[in-house]
Amino acid sequence: MQLELSEEDQAFRQEMRDFFTTQVSEEIRTAVTEGRELTKDQLVESMRTLNEAGLAVPHWPEEYGGRGWSDLKRHLWFEEMQRAGVPTPLAFNASMIGPVLAQFGSEEQKLEFLPKTANLDIWWAQGFSEPDAGSDLASVRTTAVLDGDDWVVNGQKTWTTLGQHADWIFTLVRTDPEVKKQAGISLLLIDMATPGVEVRPIELIDGGHEVNEVWFEDVRVPGDHLVGELNSGWTIAKFLLGNERVGVAPVGATKRSLAYAKELAADLIADDPLLRARVAELENELLALELTALRVAAHSAGGEPHPASSVLKLKGSVLQQAVSELVVDLAGPGSLASGAGDDSDLDGWARRATPTYLNLRKASIYGGSNEVQRQIISRTILGL
C-alpha cells in the first residue's frame, strides 16, 4: 500500500499536464471549461493534435498506435486531459470501433480504417439503438440480406449521437432472423454517403442537435465490410460495450465543473452554509469515485474490464448530473436566460447552466442505463 505515485508516474503525469495545457488550442480548452458546444472542426483539430503526439489512442494494441501503458498511466492520461479542458478523443472512434477493429477486423479492414480512425479522418457514428432496441440491444430489427457480393440493408437506427457529422457508421444488423435473437446479429461498416442512407435530426430537451435517426433503404454495402464472423455481432457488441463503460466515469471533467462553479459563484457559496455543505458533500463523493477509479485501474488484469467498472458508470453519471444540477441552482433566475445572446447582462455560465443540466440527463441512460448497471452488479458481482 502506497499513496504516492512512483517517480516515473509523477513525471508522466507532469508530461501529460504540460502537453495538454500548452499544445491543444487554448480557445478549444476555454470553450470546454465554459461548457460551450464545440464545432466539428474544433473536435477534429483537437483529436489530430493528440494523435500527432501519439496521445489519441494509447489504449489500442501497440501495432495500431497504442502505447502499452499501464492502466494507471491511462487513467492519469485521461484525468489530465479532462482537467486541462481538452476534449476527450471521439469515443465512437477511440473507445468503440477502433478497439473492435483491432480485435475482430480483417487485415484489410485494419489497414484501411485504423489510421483514419485514430486521426479522425473518418468520423464514426454508432448504429446500435433502434426504437425497440435500447437497453434490450439484442432486439435489433434492421436487416442485412446478402445479394450477390453485397449486403442490402433496410431499417432504422436512433439516438445516433453526432450522426450529422459522421462519415461512416458501425451498425448492428440482423443477418439471421431464424435463430435466437442474440445469435443472428452481425456488425457492418456502412459509408454514410451510400445512396439510401438518410439522417434526420431529433430535437432534444436542451434545444441542441446532438442525436439523429438514421434510415437505411435498400443500402448496398460491400460484403467485405462485415466485421468478424457472420452472426458474431452480439459478441462484438458486448466487447465494445464493456470498453465503453470503463471510459464513461468522467471524474476529471466533473471535478473541473465543480471547481469552476465554486470559482464563479464564490461569494454566493461563501455566504450560504447549505450551499457550502452541498459542495462539500459532492467533493467527498467525487473523491470516493476517483479513488475507486484508481483502485480499479490498479487491479485491472488482462485487458478485461474490472467488474466494479459498473460502479464507476453508475456513480459517475449520478455525480455528473448532480454537479450540473448544483450549477443551475447557483445560477438561480439567471438560469432561465438560455435563449439570450451574447449581449445579455447575465454571465455565460449561468445562461448555459440549464441546457447542460438537461443534456446530462442522458448520462444515466446511454452506455447501458443505470438500471442495466444495477443488473450487472447484482447478477455478475453479487450473484443474485
Partner 1 sequence: MDFTYDDEQVALRDAVKGLVGKAYADFETRRNAVAEDPGFDETLWSRMAEMGLLGLPFAEADGGVGAGPVEIGIVCRELGRVVAPEPYLASVVLAGGLVAACGTPEQRWPVLGALSAGDSVLAFAHDEPGRRWGPTATAVSAIDSDGSWTLSGVKEPVLHGAHADVLVVSAALPDGGTGLFLVSGDDAERTGYAAYDGTRAARISFDGTTATPLGAAGQDVTASIATVQDITRVMAANQALGAMQTALSNTTDYLKSRKQFGVTLNTFQALTFRAADMYVSQELTHSMVEWATMVVAQGDAEALADAASRVALQVSRSGRHIGQEAIQLHGGIGMTAEYAVGTYVAHLTMLDHLFGDGGFQLSRLAASVTEHGALDPLA
Site of interaction with partner 1 (CB under 8 A): 1-6, 9, 13, 72, 83, 255-256, 258-259, 262-263, 266, 269-270, 273, 276-277, 279-281, 283-292, 294-295, 298-299, 308, 311, 314-315, 371, 373-375, 377-379, 381-384
Q: How far is the CB of 2 from partner 1 (least distance, A)?
A: 4
Say how many C-beta atoms besides its own lie within 10 A of residue 319's C-beta: 23
The label of the residue with cell 475507486 reads 292
Active-site pick, 79, 130, 210, 244: 244
Partner residues linked to 317 by β-bridges: none
**Three-state secondary structure call for residue 148:** coil
Q: How far is the CB of 290 from partner 1 (least distance, A)?
A: 6
Nearer to partner 1, 333 or 383 (CB): 383
Q: How far is the CB of 372 from partner 1 (least distance, A)?
A: 11
Q: Where are the beta strands (DSSP E) in 109-208?
A: 124-127, 143-147, 150-157, 168-174, 185-191, 197-202
Q: How far is the CB of 168 from partner 1 (least distance, A)?
A: 36
DSSP code string of 202-219:
E--TTS---EEEEEEEEE
Q: How far is the CB of 211 from partner 1 (least distance, A)?
A: 27
Confirm if 182 and 138 have CB atoms less than 8 A apart: yes
| Amino acid occupying residue 362 | K
Measured distance CA(83)–CA(78) in Å, rounded: 9
Q: Which residues contact 212 (CB under 8 A, 6 or more apart)?
A: 158, 160, 161, 163, 164, 199, 200, 201, 202
The label of the residue with cell 458486448 reads 238
Nearer to partner 1, 83 or 245 (CB): 83
Q: How far is the CB of 216 from partner 1 (least distance, A)?
A: 35
Measured distance CA(375)–CA(163) in Å, rounded: 29
Active site residue 62: no
Angle CA(357)–CA(82)–CA(54) in degrees, nearest 5? Answer: 140
Q: What is the 3-state secondary structure (H, E, C) of 117-139?
A: HHCCCCCEEEECCECCECCCHHH
Q: How far is the CB of 299 from partner 1 (least distance, A)?
A: 7
Confirm if 118 and 93 have CB atoms less than 8 A apart: yes
Nearer to partner 1, 188 or 253 (CB): 253
Nearer to partner 1, 45 or 290 (CB): 290
Nearer to partner 1, 65 or 316 (CB): 316
Task: Give the long-range contacts of residues 261-265, CB within 8 A, separation 24 or more.
Answer: 261/323, 261/326, 261/327, 261/330, 261/349, 264/330, 264/347, 264/349, 265/330
Nearer to partner 1, 193 or 274 (CB): 274
- What 8-state DSSP symbol labels residue 297? H
Nearer to partner 1, 125 or 258 (CB): 258
Measured distance CA(21)–CA(39) in Å, rounded: 20
The label of the residue with cell 476534449 reads 87
Q: Looking at the annotation, which residues are catalytic?
A: 244
